[in-house]
Structure 1
Amino acid sequence: MTQPPSAPPSQVPLPQARPASGPRTLKEVRKHRRFASLRAIGALILREMQTSHGRQAGGYFWAIAEPAGGIVLLTIIFSVAFQVPPLGTSFPMFYATGMVPFLGYLDMSGKVAGAVRYSAALLAYPAVTFMDALLARIAFNSMTQIMVATVIFVTIYVTGDTRTDPQIDQIAIAIAMMLMVGAGVGVMNCFLFEAFSFWQPLWSIFMRPFFLLSCIFFMFDDVPQPYQDWLWWNPLIHIIGQMRAAFYPGYTGDYISHVYVFGLGLGLFALGLMLLARYHRDLQNS
């Protein structure tokens, strides 16, 4: 039985190529990556909430209740020893306007500094980048610190005769300064902690005296020279001063420099990102 002659190679129909399912244009590629990054950040935030207090009854409630309760308890204790505050008539409010920014900065900078190390296993996946890990921790802790500050200040204001006039816009500026410096220091330390093993314990030692050098119990205006000029370079001085100016209308805080605080925070944030972008792969593999 003879078979029909095969068609010449030039006449053999070629299989049709499947249309590409992925993004084709540069705009679509950027959109795809943006949504992938947002999904990764959202997943990391949910993971943060679950691992922090997910196994405890009450869940995320304790992320707010623990720092808020600690500050309220310390406020009550110190109120017994310090009856008359250096500013205003309510020591709990005076103490809270110093302690809330200080502890908020410490928590933000510490959590962001450990973001890459905390998510090291997930960074092995191409869909998760070190930037996703940083932004997730910044977003989660910013939300937490805002809620902590709200709970503490509202509780003290409602339950006591503080004789203050809180200005919401000025409080928002103080919180933004706190978060900016905390994030900037945290991103910079995120690189330094991984690059130099001695830096983390050295930084811990360096931060211990800042509890006394940030004007939590006293006013910056009362510090004599030349120590006042030296303390001015501490960004927490400006943040706490801004918070107190937001609650006490008669307090001007002429020394407060928003440009210095935001500039320092943005500068450290940008420098830390550049170093991480250049060396984070080497640090992961070392």
Structure 2
Amino acid sequence: MSVTGEHGLEPLRGVELMRAQGRILMALIFRDIRTRFFGSAWGFLIVIAWPLTHILILLGIYLVMGRTAPYGDSIPLWFATGIVPFICFSYMSRFITFGVVINRPLLSYPIVKITDIIFARAVVELLNAMLVVIIVGVIFWSFGIDFMPNDPVEAGYALLASMLLGLGFGAVGAIIAGIIPIWAGFYGLVLVVMWVSCGVIFVPDALPMQLQVPLSYFPLLQCVEWLRSTYYEGYGSTILDRGYVVGWGLSTLFLGLALERLLRGRILAG
């Protein structure tokens, strides 16, 4: 992108170009923040209430069935340690997947790139994930539930890995949705399957080996195992592979960026 001599202007130098792209990215970020958090009071409440609703529903089921937490002595904490990494992944990937479809009119401006939309939405979802973690922590604290992990730094890495994985899946999904818009809606059903199979409601180590082995290749399950390992001593020791999660996140992100370059013209023409 450059401002050409057609209008009597010299091409933008590298630094000026970066600043221009930075301003575009910030404009998209603030636009998405207004849409995400301040579009309506209901929208803001849904962002906050969704993970809490998951926890309350599962807590109610466990109480009715008279079951206890598989690890530790707090059922809400047990579910939160599984739901929060799933939320970090699913919000990131789904919001980015919808990005190109929702913001397609902006792509009529040559200065706005598909990657600008992807990374702007990633920043917004990073802020959203921080908000969710803080609110869940405050609510747990108000009820006397200790939400602090044994290793806070490692817990932070687990959540960042969940969001990196979501960014990668979202980047690929955004390109697919840019060509096949119905994919954005179908991905919601995919997330339901992921939620059931990612280990939020079961302990992978307790499963038979013939189930445990194939599930260990599911990177989102590894994210849940990673966070829970920072709360429960020895948890996930048989299948947890941190490098595997990071590898998946980086691989899918690079794949998404490669697809964007390859299919950019087709998306813009669509």
% same residue: 23
Once residues 51 and 187 of structure 2 are traced to their aligned partners in structure 1, the CA distance between those partners, rounded to angstroms, is 25
Q: Describe the shift of the 1:62–1:31 C-alpha distance in structure 2 as closer, same or farther (beyond 3 A).
A: farther
Aligned residue among 216, 228, 236 for 1:244: 228
* 1:71, distance to aligned residue in structure 2 (A): 3.7
Once residues 112 and 129 of structure 1 are traced to their aligned partners in structure 2, the CA distance between those partners, rounded to angstroms, is 14
Q: Describe the shift of the 1:64–1:202 C-alpha distance in structure 2 as closer, same or farther (beyond 3 A).
A: closer
* 1:191, distance to aligned residue in structure 2 (A): 1.5
Instruction: Verify the 8 A CA contact 2:81 2:227 in the aligned structure 1.
Output: yes
TM-score (norm 2): 0.86
Matched residue, 1:66: 49
Matched residue, 2:63: 80
Once residues 198 and 14 of structure 2 are traced to their aligned partners in structure 1, the CA distance between those partners, rounded to angstroms, is 44
Aligned residue among 169, 177, 196 for 1:193: 177
Aligned residues: 262
Matched residue, 2:139: 155
1:220-252 deviations in Å (ceiling 9; x for gaps): 110112111110111111111111111223536
Instruction: Verify the 8 A CA contact 1:116 1:190 in the aligned structure 2.
Output: yes
Matched residue, 1:10: none
| Correspondence 1:267 to 2:251 | yes
Map residues 36-115 of structure 1 onto 2, 5 A cutoff: 36-57=20-41, 62=45, 64-74=47-57, 76-81=59-64, 83-115=67-99
1:170-193 deviations in Å (ceiling 9; x for gaps): 111111111011010111111122
| Aligned partner letter, 1:36 | A
Q: Describe the shift of the 1:260–1:277 C-alpha distance in structure 2 as closer, same or farther (beyond 3 A).
A: same
Instruction: Verify the 8 A CA contact 1:52 1:63 in the aligned structure 2.
Output: no
| Correspondence 1:118 to 2:102 | yes
Matched residue, 2:3: none
Aligned residue among 14, 18, 27 for 1:34: 18
1:12-54 deviations in Å (ceiling 9; x for gaps): xxxxxxxx86467xxxx22111111111111111111222343
Matched residue, 1:255: 239
* Aligned-residue RMSD, C-alpha: 2.5
Q: Describe the shift of the 1:155–1:109 C-alpha distance in structure 2 as closer, same or farther (beyond 3 A).
A: same
Higher helix residue share:
2
Once residues 51 and 124 of structure 1 are traced to their aligned partners in structure 2, the CA distance between those partners, rounded to angstroms, is 20
The secondary structure found in structure 1 opposite 2:104 is coil
Aligned residue among 152, 158, 172 for 1:168: 152
Runs of 4+ that moved beyond 6 A: none
The secondary structure found in structure 2 opposite 1:152 is helix
Once residues 266 and 234 of structure 2 are traced to their aligned partners in structure 1, the CA distance between those partners, rounded to angstroms, is 53
Q: Describe the shift of the 1:212–1:58 C-alpha distance in structure 2 as closer, same or farther (beyond 3 A).
A: closer
Once residues 21 and 122 of structure 1 are traced to their aligned partners in structure 2, the CA distance between those partners, rounded to angstroms, is 24
Unmatched segments (≥5 aa) in structure 2 = 1-7
Q: Which moved more, 1:206-215 or 1:255-264?
A: 206-215
Matched residue, 1:5: none
Q: Describe the shift of the 1:168–1:187 C-alpha distance in structure 2 as closer, same or farther (beyond 3 A).
A: same
* 1:105, distance to aligned residue in structure 2 (A): 1.2
Instruction: Verify the 8 A CA contact 2:88 2:129 in the aligned structure 1.
Output: yes
Instruction: Verify the 8 A CA contact 1:112 1:183 in the aligned structure 2.
Output: yes
